[in-house]
Amino acid sequence: MSKMLINQHDKLSVTSDAATIIKELDVIHPAAKMLVMASQMQESDCGDGTNFVVVFGGELLSQAGGLIRQGVHPADIISGFTKASAKALEILSAPEITAFTLDDPRDVKKAERCLRSALASKQYGYEDKLASLIAEACIQTLPKSGPVTHFKTDSVRVTKILGGGVTDTRLVKGFVLPRDTEGTIKTMRNAKIAVFVSGIDMAKPETKGTVLIKTADQLRNFTKEEERQMETIVKGIADSGANVVVSGNAVSDIAMHFIERYKMMCVKVTSKFQLRRVCQAVGATALVRLGAPTAEELGHCDIVTTDEIGSTKVTVFRQEEKEDSQISTLVVRASTNNVLDDIERAVDDGVNVFKNLIRDGRLCAGAGATEIELARRLAAFAEATPGLDQYALKRYAEAFEVVPRTLAENAGQNALETISALYAAHSGGAITTGVDVEGGGVKDAVGALNVLDSVLTKYWAIKYSSDAICTILRVDQIIMAKIAGGPKPKQMKGDGDEDGGVGLD
């Protein structure tokens, strides 16, 4: 279910993304801040699984609280949780837990299958459409031959355009800039692109000066000299072979006149981040000097064109002939800004899952199947462990039940019956059985439900949440420093003084 958040600036967000919810919340309690920091670390490292860190961490704290009330010392709980965490990560790395492996990251169909589950948790119902687009967008930016060792998440961009539906979202091989061009030329094929950071205008003097003009001839000659200098600059750019000019700042009227005369297209990009992405997409060098670029500094693009999507003008830098593009852009459509933002978060999660699969292509059964298997094996390990650690190990194993329980409750099922059915199936050897949120009951998560989770994401989520909880358990006192700045100022007369009296007007 989605949450409606209103932050201190009255900004409204509707989302079910845990990372966004935590970002918008103003968390004060120090122990809660530890969990928030663990989830933020998970977000920066894996880009997905923040929900699992918070939910699993909260359940571990709840289980630890029960043990403390029974009289078990925190040191024994920490010892048990540490052992349980190490054992859980060992079980997770076992070959039988891996249900599917993405051996070829350039295979679109396999990549789609891997991304589908992460997207379904954010945008249920649109997962197939989005998985197909994101898989294609990610694969487009990969080199077409040789081993794939790393993937840049910045290579896949999102341009949000209000209007239409989510199914109208489409992929562009190149970069989409949500603004119109400056001049009358709207399309340029086989574009040679010159990028200028500081804009196209005459240099202004550092100090103010006064020019005294007495006659009409002097005024005419003054503007002519400026025009002549600007024409020399623009002609030099045109002679270098450039037919598209990208400016990072203002373009003067005189410069625009000569750019049009020399049949060049002009695009203004005010954001330095967007300018950097344009350079990445076309392979150009951003120039700080105003003048003719060299052949190495020019970028190349098959077609630069202005298009209208909905009622928004966009400039598209599209690579049609090149096999691979440095940047792919998803043009996201939706009816409201909240939905657009949520789709963008889902795309970000999907791209991060793809990045994780490049690092480690293993996937395990989702839908709570892996968690129940971890709980079952940890419970058996706890039985064979002597000492007080056994209690903490058992509680750690029970904490994994929170995932299938939450899934069952969100789907309107009886959580106890679902967990019992899962344990029965897993004891019988069907270790990929998970919660069926659509049909009810339990089914094979890999075959029937096609729900897969990244092993790497789950690995780090368990590690981060366990470390955060052990850190919290090690604390026996919270000592707050006094706010600096001396005593508070006395209230004004008439507003009631410190003794509760009221001053006279």
DSSP bridge partners of 174: 318
Q: Are residues 190 and 271 in the same domain?
A: yes
Q: How many angstroms separate the Cα of 106 from the Cα of each of 21, 194, 348, 356, 487? A: 33, 32, 19, 14, 65
- The residue among 257, 292, 319 that closes a domain is 319
For the entire predicted model, the pTM comes to 0.78
In a domain, 30, yes or no: yes
Mean pLDDT across 424-449: 82
Range of the domain at 447: 3-100+364-473
CA nearest 329: which of 147, 111, 176, 146? 176
Q: Are residues 315 and 369 in the same domain?
A: no
Give the Cα separation of 158 and 344 in Å (integer).
7
Q: Are residues 52 and 184 in the same domain?
A: no
For 302-314, the pLDDT digits (tens) are: 888 888 887 888 8
Q: Are residues 181 and 315 in the same domain?
A: yes
Q: Are residues 250 and 313 in the same domain?
A: yes
Q: Are residues 206 and 280 in the same domain?
A: yes
Give the Cα separation of 475 and 333 in Å (integer).
48
> Predicted confidence band at 503 (pLDDT cuts at 50, 70, 90)?
very low
Domain count of the fold of the chain: 2
DSSP bridge partners of 280: none
In the prediction, which pLDDT does 287 show?
83
In a domain, 213, yes or no: yes
In a domain, 35, yes or no: yes
> Predicted confidence band at 362 (pLDDT cuts at 50, 70, 90)?
confident
Q: How many angstroms separate the Cα of 385 from the Cα of each of 6, 84, 434, 461? A: 48, 11, 28, 25
Q: Are residues 190 and 312 in the same domain?
A: yes
In a domain, 478, yes or no: no
In a domain, 118, yes or no: no
Indicate if the pLDDT at residue 241 is higher than 70.
yes
In a domain, 147, yes or no: no
Q: Are residues 294 and 391 in the same domain?
A: no
Give the Cα separation of 62 and 402 in Å (integer).
11
Alpha helices (H) along 248-297:
253-261, 272-282
Task: Match 């990072």 to its residue by tokens.
Answer: 248
Indicate if the pLDDT at residue 98 is higher than 80.
yes
Give the Cα separation of 234 and 246 in Å (integer).
13
In a domain, 145, yes or no: no
Candidate ranges 226-240, 395-409, 425-439; pick with highest mean pLDDT: 395-409
For 184-234, the pLDDT digits (tens) are: 888 888 888 888 888 777 766 666 777 788 888 877 777 777 778 888 888
Write the CATH number for 62: 1.10.560.10
Q: Are residues 216 and 308 in the same domain?
A: yes
Write the CATH number for 271: 3.50.7.10
In the prediction, which pLDDT does 500 show?
44
Give the Cα separation of 399 and 57 in Å (integer).
9
For 465-493, the pLDDT digits (tens) are: 888 888 888 888 877 776 666 666 676 65
The mean predicted confidence, pLDDT, of the chain is: 82
Q: Which residues are CB-neighbours of 482 under 8 A, at least 6 positions away?
A: none
In the prediction, which pLDDT does 259 show?
82
Give the Cα separation of 392 and 387 in Å (integer).
10
In the prediction, which pLDDT does 324 show?
58
**More confident of the two residues 488 and 392:** 392
Q: Are residues 308 and 368 in the same domain?
A: no
Which of 5-14, 143-152, 163-172 has the least mean pLDDT?
Answer: 143-152
Indicate if the pLDDT at residue 376 is higher than 70.
yes
For 66-93, the pLDDT digits (tens) are: 888 888 888 888 888 888 888 888 888 8
Q: Are residues 292 and 385 in the same domain?
A: no
CA nearest 426: which of 445, 440, 451, 410? 445
In a domain, 459, yes or no: yes
**More confident of the two residues 310 and 391:** 391
CA atoms within 13 A on the CB side of 70: 13
Q: Are residues 313 and 404 in the same domain?
A: no
